[in-house]
């Protein structure tokens, strides 16, 4: 859970799974069916999710009768963070994960009513972060901005309670 992983310039891994396998190899870690299953599932859609949702979804995929346990979910997620394939943020006391490989840096709008997450990108914001860090002589590594508010849908139909999914 620490050192950044630098891809060697020679081999350019293309799929998340390939990249993950390289990462594992470089660390002397092993590739298992659970890890493959999890990575393939996670990168088959571009959605935000938490550990519980992942666990449920993987258990429903009966095709693979390969069950994956909760501890393993957490262990693999942690490796994926180390590998730079996923990013995480805390929302309502739980960790929310999202792709960090092959997707541009972005931040989020969060609907306080239905929990919806909408992504946005702002170069101007990146500039500000860098500038603020410089001013305080911080070495800038990353940032997280969440704009909290009410989404258009919820603004219309007032007061329903978190009806849907994390998009």
Enumerate binding residues for its own copies (CB under 8 A). Answer: 90, 93, 109, 111-112, 118, 120, 122, 124-125, 128-129, 132-133, 135-152, 155
DSSP 2-60: -S--PPPSS----SHHHHHHHHHHHTT----HHHHHHHHHHHTS---EEHHHHHHHHHH
- Give the residue with the Cβ less far from its own copies, 32 or 126: 126
In the complex, least distance from residue 82 CB atom to DNA, rounded to whole angstroms: 11
Please choose which of DNA, its own copies, none residue 29 contacts, taking the beta carbon within 5 to 8 angstroms, the exact cut-off set by kind.
Answer: DNA
- Residue with token string 């969440």: 146
Count CB-CB contacts under 10 A for residue 3. Answer: 7
Distance CA 138, CA 84 (A): 22
- Residue with token string 């490796």: 79
Locate 54 and state its tokens.
């992942």
Please choose which of its own copies, DNA, none residue 51 contacts, taking the beta carbon within 5 to 8 angstroms, the exact cut-off set by kind.
Answer: DNA
- Give the residue with the Cβ less far from DNA, 67 or 121: 67
Per CB under 7 A, residues contacting DNA are 24, 28-35, 50-52, 66-72, 74-76, 78, 93-95
In the complex, least distance from residue 63 CB atom to DNA, rounded to whole angstroms: 15
Element spanning 94, H or E = strand 94-99
Residue of 73, 81, 91, 82 whose CA lies nearest to 35? 73
Please choose which of DNA, its own copies, none residue 70 contacts, taking the beta carbon within 5 to 8 angstroms, the exact cut-off set by kind.
Answer: DNA
Please choose which of its own copies, DNA, none residue 52 contacts, taking the beta carbon within 5 to 8 angstroms, the exact cut-off set by kind.
Answer: DNA
In the complex, least distance from residue 121 CB atom to DNA, rounded to whole angstroms: 26
Please choose which of DNA, its own copies, none residue 112 contacts, taking the beta carbon within 5 to 8 angstroms, the exact cut-off set by kind.
Answer: its own copies
Phi, psi of 117, deg, nearest 5: -115, 130
**Residue 122 gets which letter from DSSP?**
-
């Amino acid at each position: 859970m620490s050192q950044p992983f630098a891809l060697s310039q020679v081999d350019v891994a293309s799929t998340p799974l390939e990249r993950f396998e390289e990462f594992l190899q470089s660390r002397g870690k092993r590739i298992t069916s659970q890890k493959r299953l999890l990575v393939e599932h996670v990168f088959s859609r571009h959605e935000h999710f938490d550990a519980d949702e992942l666990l449920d979804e993987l258990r429903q995929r009966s095709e693979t009768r390969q069950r994956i346990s909760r501890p393993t979910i957490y262990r693999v997620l942690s490796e994926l963070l180390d590998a730079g394939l996923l990013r995480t943020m805390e929302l309502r006391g739980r960790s929310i994960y999202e792709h960090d490989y092959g997707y541009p840096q972005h931040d989020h709008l969060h609907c306080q009513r239905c929990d919806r997450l909408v992504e946005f990108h702002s170069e101007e914001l990146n500039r500000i972060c860098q500038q603020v860090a410089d001013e305080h002589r911080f070495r800038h590594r990353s940032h997280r901005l969440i704009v909290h508010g009410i989404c258009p849908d919820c603004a219309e139909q007032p007061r329903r309670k978190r009806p849907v999914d994390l998009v």
